[in-house]
Amino acid sequence: MFHSLLGPLSRMLFAVICLTATMAAASGGDPNPWSRWRGADGAGQGGGTRFPVTWAESDWAWTAALPGAGNASPVVLDGRIYTASADEAAGRRFVTAHALADGKLLWTRALPGPIERHHAQNSSASGSVAADARGVYWVWGTRDGVRVEAFSHAGEPRWHVDLGGYEGEHGFGTTPAVCRDLLVVSIDQEGKSAIVAVDAATGAERWRLPRESAKAGYATPLVVDGAATASPPILAGPLVIGTSGDGGGDNLLAAVRPPAGAGAEPEIAYTLDRSIAPYVPTPLVVDEFMYLWGDRGVVTCVRAATGETVWRGRVGGTYSASPIAVGDTIRNVSADGEAVAIRRGDSFEVLGRVPLGETCRATPAIVGDRMVFRTAGRLLALDAAP
Protein backbone atom coordinates (compact mmCIF):
# COMPACT_ATOMS: atom_id res chain seq x y z
CA MET A 1 0.00 0.00 0.00
CA PHE A 2 1.42 3.39 -1.01
CA HIS A 3 1.36 5.87 1.87
CA SER A 4 2.44 9.47 1.44
CA LEU A 5 2.67 10.90 4.89
CA LEU A 6 0.22 13.47 5.74
CA GLY A 7 1.50 16.91 6.40
CA PRO A 8 1.59 18.84 9.65
CA LEU A 9 1.02 17.16 12.99
CA SER A 10 -1.78 19.62 13.67
CA ARG A 11 -3.92 17.93 11.01
CA MET A 12 -3.56 14.59 12.77
CA LEU A 13 -4.65 16.10 16.09
CA PHE A 14 -7.56 17.89 14.43
CA ALA A 15 -8.98 14.55 13.31
CA VAL A 16 -8.64 13.02 16.77
CA ILE A 17 -10.48 15.89 18.43
CA CYS A 18 -13.31 16.39 15.99
CA LEU A 19 -14.27 12.78 15.35
CA THR A 20 -14.65 11.73 18.96
CA ALA A 21 -18.34 12.59 19.30
CA THR A 22 -19.19 11.79 15.69
CA MET A 23 -17.93 8.21 15.81
CA ALA A 24 -19.04 7.27 19.31
CA ALA A 25 -22.11 5.40 18.11
CA ALA A 26 -20.21 3.65 15.33
CA SER A 27 -17.02 2.47 17.01
CA GLY A 28 -16.28 -1.20 17.46
CA GLY A 29 -13.54 -3.77 16.97
CA ASP A 30 -13.07 -5.92 13.90
CA PRO A 31 -13.48 -9.62 14.80
CA ASN A 32 -11.86 -10.71 11.52
CA PRO A 33 -8.07 -10.91 11.73
CA TRP A 34 -7.17 -9.58 8.26
CA SER A 35 -10.28 -8.12 6.61
CA ARG A 36 -8.60 -4.74 6.18
CA TRP A 37 -5.14 -3.38 5.39
CA ARG A 38 -2.57 -4.78 7.88
CA GLY A 39 -5.17 -6.71 9.81
CA ALA A 40 -7.42 -5.74 12.69
CA ASP A 41 -7.02 -2.03 13.56
CA GLY A 42 -4.13 -1.88 11.07
CA ALA A 43 -1.94 -3.20 13.88
CA GLY A 44 -0.07 -5.85 11.88
CA GLN A 45 -0.47 -8.60 14.49
CA GLY A 46 -0.11 -11.99 12.79
CA GLY A 47 -0.36 -14.22 15.87
CA GLY A 48 1.99 -16.79 17.30
CA THR A 49 2.30 -19.15 14.33
CA ARG A 50 5.87 -19.83 13.25
CA PHE A 51 6.66 -19.38 9.56
CA PRO A 52 9.95 -20.16 7.81
CA VAL A 53 12.45 -17.30 7.66
CA THR A 54 14.02 -18.70 4.48
CA TRP A 55 12.46 -20.83 1.76
CA ALA A 56 12.84 -21.82 -1.90
CA GLU A 57 10.58 -21.18 -4.88
CA SER A 58 9.35 -24.76 -4.60
CA ASP A 59 8.13 -24.13 -1.05
CA TRP A 60 5.26 -21.85 -2.05
CA ALA A 61 1.88 -23.42 -1.29
CA TRP A 62 0.67 -21.77 -4.48
CA THR A 63 1.13 -18.67 -6.64
CA ALA A 64 -1.47 -16.87 -8.74
CA ALA A 65 -1.16 -14.23 -11.45
CA LEU A 66 -3.20 -11.05 -11.18
CA PRO A 67 -4.88 -9.37 -14.19
CA GLY A 68 -2.80 -6.22 -13.79
CA ALA A 69 -0.23 -4.56 -11.57
CA GLY A 70 -0.62 -2.59 -8.36
CA ASN A 71 0.32 -1.98 -4.75
CA ALA A 72 -2.94 -2.96 -3.03
CA SER A 73 -2.24 -5.23 -0.06
CA PRO A 74 -4.18 -8.51 0.19
CA VAL A 75 -7.03 -8.83 2.69
CA VAL A 76 -8.65 -12.09 3.74
CA LEU A 77 -12.16 -12.94 4.92
CA ASP A 78 -13.89 -16.34 5.14
CA GLY A 79 -11.33 -18.13 3.03
CA ARG A 80 -11.21 -15.54 0.24
CA ILE A 81 -8.33 -13.19 -0.63
CA TYR A 82 -9.36 -9.83 -2.06
CA THR A 83 -7.08 -7.36 -3.79
CA ALA A 84 -6.99 -4.82 -6.62
CA SER A 85 -4.84 -4.26 -9.69
CA ALA A 86 -4.80 -2.21 -12.88
CA ASP A 87 -3.95 -2.66 -16.55
CA GLU A 88 -2.97 0.93 -17.27
CA ALA A 89 -2.49 0.38 -21.01
CA ALA A 90 -6.05 -0.94 -21.33
CA GLY A 91 -7.54 1.68 -19.00
CA ARG A 92 -9.03 -0.88 -16.62
CA ARG A 93 -8.83 -1.54 -12.89
CA PHE A 94 -9.75 -4.87 -11.32
CA VAL A 95 -11.01 -6.18 -8.01
CA THR A 96 -10.37 -9.92 -7.63
CA ALA A 97 -11.17 -12.74 -5.24
CA HIS A 98 -8.97 -15.84 -4.90
CA ALA A 99 -9.41 -18.90 -2.71
CA LEU A 100 -7.06 -18.91 0.28
CA ALA A 101 -6.84 -22.70 0.11
CA ASP A 102 -5.40 -23.07 -3.39
CA GLY A 103 -5.19 -19.62 -5.04
CA LYS A 104 -7.99 -20.38 -7.49
CA LEU A 105 -9.50 -17.28 -9.07
CA LEU A 106 -13.10 -17.01 -7.85
CA TRP A 107 -14.09 -13.83 -9.67
CA THR A 108 -12.80 -10.68 -11.32
CA ARG A 109 -14.63 -7.39 -11.74
CA ALA A 110 -13.23 -4.94 -14.29
CA LEU A 111 -13.69 -1.21 -13.72
CA PRO A 112 -13.00 0.90 -16.81
CA GLY A 113 -11.88 4.45 -16.18
CA PRO A 114 -9.23 7.08 -16.90
CA ILE A 115 -5.61 6.38 -16.02
CA GLU A 116 -3.73 9.43 -14.81
CA ARG A 117 -0.09 10.16 -14.20
CA HIS A 118 1.13 9.16 -10.75
CA HIS A 119 4.33 8.92 -8.73
CA ALA A 120 6.68 6.13 -9.76
CA GLN A 121 6.13 4.45 -6.38
CA ASN A 122 2.35 4.72 -6.67
CA SER A 123 0.07 2.82 -9.05
CA SER A 124 -3.47 2.99 -10.38
CA ALA A 125 -4.45 0.35 -7.82
CA SER A 126 -2.67 1.21 -4.58
CA GLY A 127 -5.55 1.39 -2.12
CA SER A 128 -6.42 -1.94 -0.51
CA VAL A 129 -9.84 -3.59 -0.40
CA ALA A 130 -11.83 -3.68 2.86
CA ALA A 131 -14.30 -6.48 3.65
CA ASP A 132 -17.07 -7.31 6.10
CA ALA A 133 -19.99 -9.72 6.34
CA ARG A 134 -21.93 -7.66 3.76
CA GLY A 135 -19.27 -7.76 1.07
CA VAL A 136 -16.15 -6.00 -0.16
CA TYR A 137 -15.33 -2.33 -0.82
CA TRP A 138 -12.70 -0.59 -2.90
CA VAL A 139 -11.99 3.08 -3.54
CA TRP A 140 -10.26 4.55 -6.59
CA GLY A 141 -9.92 8.12 -7.70
CA THR A 142 -9.00 10.55 -10.47
CA ARG A 143 -9.51 14.26 -11.03
CA ASP A 144 -13.03 13.39 -12.16
CA GLY A 145 -14.06 11.76 -8.90
CA VAL A 146 -13.37 9.52 -5.92
CA ARG A 147 -15.46 6.43 -6.53
CA VAL A 148 -16.41 3.80 -3.95
CA GLU A 149 -17.29 0.36 -5.35
CA ALA A 150 -19.16 -2.27 -3.31
CA PHE A 151 -19.50 -5.94 -4.29
CA SER A 152 -20.99 -9.03 -2.72
CA HIS A 153 -18.69 -11.87 -1.72
CA ALA A 154 -19.77 -13.55 -4.93
CA GLY A 155 -18.55 -10.55 -6.92
CA GLU A 156 -21.95 -9.08 -7.79
CA PRO A 157 -22.10 -5.24 -7.81
CA ARG A 158 -24.02 -3.90 -4.80
CA TRP A 159 -23.66 -0.14 -5.15
CA HIS A 160 -21.23 2.59 -6.13
CA VAL A 161 -20.99 6.23 -5.17
CA ASP A 162 -18.94 9.25 -6.24
CA LEU A 163 -17.55 11.33 -3.36
CA GLY A 164 -16.25 14.25 -5.46
CA GLY A 165 -13.08 15.13 -7.34
CA TYR A 166 -9.49 14.49 -6.31
CA GLU A 167 -6.38 16.63 -6.68
CA GLY A 168 -2.97 15.18 -5.91
CA GLU A 169 0.31 15.33 -7.79
CA HIS A 170 1.25 11.74 -6.89
CA GLY A 171 -2.07 10.10 -7.78
CA PHE A 172 -4.70 8.38 -5.64
CA GLY A 173 -4.11 5.62 -3.07
CA THR A 174 -6.60 5.68 -0.18
CA THR A 175 -7.90 2.58 1.63
CA PRO A 176 -11.29 2.64 3.38
CA ALA A 177 -12.17 1.20 6.79
CA VAL A 178 -15.39 -0.52 7.89
CA CYS A 179 -16.85 0.51 11.24
CA ARG A 180 -20.08 -1.30 12.10
CA ASP A 181 -22.62 0.01 9.56
CA LEU A 182 -20.30 2.65 8.09
CA LEU A 183 -17.56 2.70 5.49
CA VAL A 184 -15.12 5.51 6.38
CA VAL A 185 -13.00 7.09 3.65
CA SER A 186 -10.25 9.66 4.25
CA ILE A 187 -9.84 12.03 1.28
CA ASP A 188 -6.79 14.15 2.05
CA GLN A 189 -5.90 16.05 -1.10
CA GLU A 190 -4.67 19.32 -2.54
CA GLY A 191 -8.31 20.36 -3.05
CA LYS A 192 -11.15 20.22 -0.51
CA SER A 193 -10.26 17.44 1.92
CA ALA A 194 -12.72 15.52 4.06
CA ILE A 195 -13.34 12.35 6.00
CA VAL A 196 -16.55 10.81 4.64
CA ALA A 197 -18.71 8.04 6.08
CA VAL A 198 -21.18 6.22 3.85
CA ASP A 199 -23.74 3.59 4.74
CA ALA A 200 -22.03 0.24 4.14
CA ALA A 201 -25.33 -1.33 3.05
CA THR A 202 -26.46 1.32 0.54
CA GLY A 203 -23.62 3.78 -0.13
CA ALA A 204 -25.70 6.71 1.10
CA GLU A 205 -23.54 9.45 2.61
CA ARG A 206 -24.08 9.64 6.37
CA TRP A 207 -21.69 12.42 7.30
CA ARG A 208 -18.75 14.44 5.98
CA LEU A 209 -16.10 16.15 8.09
CA PRO A 210 -14.10 18.84 6.24
CA ARG A 211 -10.33 18.68 6.72
CA GLU A 212 -7.64 21.33 6.36
CA SER A 213 -4.84 20.03 4.14
CA ALA A 214 -2.27 21.42 1.78
CA LYS A 215 -1.02 18.14 0.32
CA ALA A 216 -2.48 14.77 -0.59
CA GLY A 217 -2.35 11.89 1.86
CA TYR A 218 -3.04 8.16 1.72
CA ALA A 219 -4.02 7.06 5.21
CA THR A 220 -6.36 4.30 6.30
CA PRO A 221 -8.71 5.56 9.04
CA LEU A 222 -8.51 4.01 12.49
CA VAL A 223 -11.60 3.93 14.71
CA VAL A 224 -11.17 3.05 18.37
CA ASP A 225 -13.06 3.85 21.55
CA GLY A 226 -15.16 6.48 19.85
CA ALA A 227 -12.29 8.35 18.21
CA ALA A 228 -10.70 8.23 14.80
CA THR A 229 -7.56 9.57 13.18
CA ALA A 230 -6.72 9.96 9.54
CA SER A 231 -2.94 9.69 9.61
CA PRO A 232 -1.37 6.21 9.38
CA PRO A 233 -2.09 5.62 13.10
CA ILE A 234 -1.55 2.72 15.45
CA LEU A 235 -2.26 2.15 19.11
CA ALA A 236 0.30 1.74 21.86
CA GLY A 237 -1.69 1.23 25.04
CA PRO A 238 -3.31 4.60 25.81
CA LEU A 239 -1.33 6.38 23.07
CA VAL A 240 -2.15 6.98 19.43
CA ILE A 241 1.00 6.91 17.29
CA GLY A 242 1.04 8.86 14.04
CA THR A 243 3.68 9.93 11.56
CA SER A 244 3.83 12.81 9.10
CA GLY A 245 6.11 14.28 6.48
CA ASP A 246 6.12 16.22 3.23
CA GLY A 247 8.51 14.30 1.01
CA GLY A 248 11.48 16.51 1.80
CA GLY A 249 12.75 14.32 4.63
CA ASP A 250 11.18 16.36 7.43
CA ASN A 251 9.52 13.33 9.02
CA LEU A 252 7.92 13.40 12.46
CA LEU A 253 6.43 10.75 14.74
CA ALA A 254 4.11 11.84 17.54
CA ALA A 255 2.69 9.82 20.41
CA VAL A 256 -0.58 11.46 21.44
CA ARG A 257 -2.88 10.92 24.40
CA PRO A 258 -6.40 11.39 23.01
CA PRO A 259 -8.73 13.80 24.84
CA ALA A 260 -10.41 12.18 27.84
CA GLY A 261 -13.79 13.73 27.10
CA ALA A 262 -15.74 16.55 25.52
CA GLY A 263 -13.85 19.83 25.75
CA ALA A 264 -10.58 18.17 26.71
CA GLU A 265 -7.41 18.62 24.70
CA PRO A 266 -5.09 15.90 23.37
CA GLU A 267 -1.61 15.76 24.85
CA ILE A 268 1.65 14.98 23.07
CA ALA A 269 3.50 12.36 25.11
CA TYR A 270 6.65 12.52 22.96
CA THR A 271 7.87 13.09 19.41
CA LEU A 272 10.63 11.50 17.32
CA ASP A 273 12.35 13.38 14.52
CA ARG A 274 13.46 12.56 10.99
CA SER A 275 16.48 10.58 12.19
CA ILE A 276 14.12 7.83 13.45
CA ALA A 277 10.59 8.45 12.12
CA PRO A 278 9.73 6.52 8.93
CA TYR A 279 8.23 8.33 5.95
CA VAL A 280 6.11 5.62 4.27
CA PRO A 281 6.05 2.41 6.39
CA THR A 282 3.66 2.50 9.35
CA PRO A 283 5.15 1.80 12.81
CA LEU A 284 4.52 -1.55 14.52
CA VAL A 285 3.91 -2.02 18.26
CA VAL A 286 4.43 -5.40 19.91
CA ASP A 287 4.35 -5.63 23.70
CA GLU A 288 6.47 -2.79 25.12
CA PHE A 289 8.43 -2.19 21.91
CA MET A 290 7.69 -0.13 18.80
CA TYR A 291 9.50 -1.01 15.57
CA LEU A 292 10.15 1.82 13.12
CA TRP A 293 11.08 0.32 9.76
CA GLY A 294 12.71 3.13 7.82
CA ASP A 295 12.20 3.72 4.12
CA ARG A 296 15.93 3.32 3.46
CA GLY A 297 16.38 0.04 5.30
CA VAL A 298 17.25 1.13 8.83
CA VAL A 299 15.07 -0.35 11.58
CA THR A 300 14.84 1.31 14.99
CA CYS A 301 13.30 -0.29 18.06
CA VAL A 302 12.05 2.10 20.75
CA ARG A 303 10.05 1.74 23.94
CA ALA A 304 6.49 2.51 22.92
CA ALA A 305 5.63 4.26 26.19
CA THR A 306 8.53 6.73 26.10
CA GLY A 307 10.20 6.72 22.66
CA GLU A 308 13.54 5.67 24.19
CA THR A 309 15.77 3.95 21.63
CA VAL A 310 16.54 0.29 22.37
CA TRP A 311 18.49 -0.60 19.22
CA ARG A 312 19.05 0.33 15.57
CA GLY A 313 20.02 -1.99 12.74
CA ARG A 314 20.38 -1.90 8.97
CA VAL A 315 18.51 -4.42 6.81
CA GLY A 316 19.20 -2.65 3.51
CA GLY A 317 16.87 -1.94 0.62
CA THR A 318 14.06 0.60 0.30
CA TYR A 319 10.56 0.08 1.67
CA SER A 320 6.97 1.15 1.06
CA ALA A 321 5.29 -1.86 2.69
CA SER A 322 4.74 -1.86 6.46
CA PRO A 323 6.13 -4.37 8.96
CA ILE A 324 4.03 -7.07 10.58
CA ALA A 325 4.63 -9.30 13.61
CA VAL A 326 4.25 -13.09 13.53
CA GLY A 327 5.67 -15.64 15.93
CA ASP A 328 8.92 -14.30 17.32
CA THR A 329 9.71 -12.33 14.15
CA ILE A 330 9.07 -8.99 12.48
CA ARG A 331 8.57 -9.20 8.70
CA ASN A 332 8.60 -6.73 5.83
CA VAL A 333 9.14 -6.74 2.06
CA SER A 334 11.41 -4.33 0.21
CA ALA A 335 10.40 -2.45 -2.92
CA ASP A 336 12.73 -4.77 -4.85
CA GLY A 337 10.71 -7.73 -3.61
CA GLU A 338 12.93 -9.15 -0.86
CA ALA A 339 11.06 -10.62 2.11
CA VAL A 340 13.07 -9.90 5.26
CA ALA A 341 12.62 -11.42 8.73
CA ILE A 342 14.26 -9.98 11.84
CA ARG A 343 14.14 -11.14 15.44
CA ARG A 344 11.48 -9.59 17.66
CA GLY A 345 12.72 -8.26 20.98
CA ASP A 346 15.42 -6.17 22.61
CA SER A 347 18.27 -7.02 20.22
CA PHE A 348 18.68 -6.75 16.45
CA GLU A 349 19.25 -9.79 14.26
CA VAL A 350 18.39 -10.48 10.62
CA LEU A 351 17.04 -14.04 10.45
CA GLY A 352 16.39 -14.49 6.75
CA ARG A 353 15.97 -12.97 3.29
CA VAL A 354 13.98 -14.39 0.37
CA PRO A 355 13.61 -12.81 -3.10
CA LEU A 356 10.01 -12.80 -4.33
CA GLY A 357 10.99 -12.25 -7.95
CA GLU A 358 9.11 -9.00 -8.52
CA THR A 359 8.76 -5.50 -7.11
CA CYS A 360 6.55 -5.20 -4.05
CA ARG A 361 4.97 -2.30 -2.15
CA ALA A 362 2.20 -4.32 -0.46
CA THR A 363 2.02 -5.52 3.14
CA PRO A 364 1.56 -9.29 3.60
CA ALA A 365 -1.54 -10.83 5.21
CA ILE A 366 -1.62 -13.66 7.75
CA VAL A 367 -4.59 -15.89 8.52
CA GLY A 368 -4.01 -19.02 10.58
CA ASP A 369 -1.23 -21.12 9.10
CA ARG A 370 -0.95 -19.19 5.84
CA MET A 371 0.92 -16.00 4.94
CA VAL A 372 -0.07 -14.26 1.70
CA PHE A 373 2.33 -11.96 -0.16
CA ARG A 374 1.37 -9.69 -3.03
CA THR A 375 3.98 -8.51 -5.50
CA ALA A 376 3.21 -6.14 -8.38
CA GLY A 377 1.48 -8.85 -10.39
CA ARG A 378 1.19 -12.01 -8.26
CA LEU A 379 -0.21 -13.49 -5.08
CA LEU A 380 2.01 -16.00 -3.28
CA ALA A 381 1.03 -18.19 -0.32
CA LEU A 382 3.44 -19.60 2.27
CA ASP A 383 2.53 -22.24 4.85
CA ALA A 384 3.64 -22.24 8.47
CA ALA A 385 6.73 -24.14 9.49
CA PRO A 386 6.08 -27.83 10.24
Q: What is the mean pLDDT of residues 97-106?
A: 98
Q: Cα separations (Å) of 325 from 37, 119, 283?
A: 14, 29, 11
130-134, 155-159, 237-241: which has the minimum mean pLDDT? Answer: 237-241
Q: Residues 265, 289: contact at Cβ < 8 Å?
A: no
Asked whether 117 and 171 are in contact (CB, 8 A), the reply is yes
**Cβ of 70: how many Cβ atoms within 10 Å?**
31
Contacts for 10 with CB less than 8 Å, ≥ 6 apart: none
- Edge-to-edge strands, sheet with 329-333: 324-326, 329-333, 338-343, 350-355
Which pLDDT score, from 0 to 100, does residue 10 have?
39
Domains contained in the chain, CATH given:
9-381 (2.140.10.10)
Among 325, 328, 295, 294, CA closest to 312: 294
| Among candidate residues 325, 386, 377, the one with its CA nearest the CA of residue 64 | 377
Are the beta carbons of 198 and 206 closer than 8 angstroms?
Answer: yes
For 296-313, write each residue's pLDDT tens digit.
999 999 999 999 999 999
Angstrom distances, CA of residue 204 to CA of 16, 111, 230, 232, 269: 24, 21, 21, 26, 38
pLDDT bucket at 72, cuts 50 / 70 / 90: very high
pTM for the model stands at 0.87
Q: Flag whether pLDDT at 224 surpasses 70.
A: no
> Given a cut of 50, is residue 81 above it in pLDDT?
yes
Q: Mean pLDDT, the chain, as a whole number?
A: 84
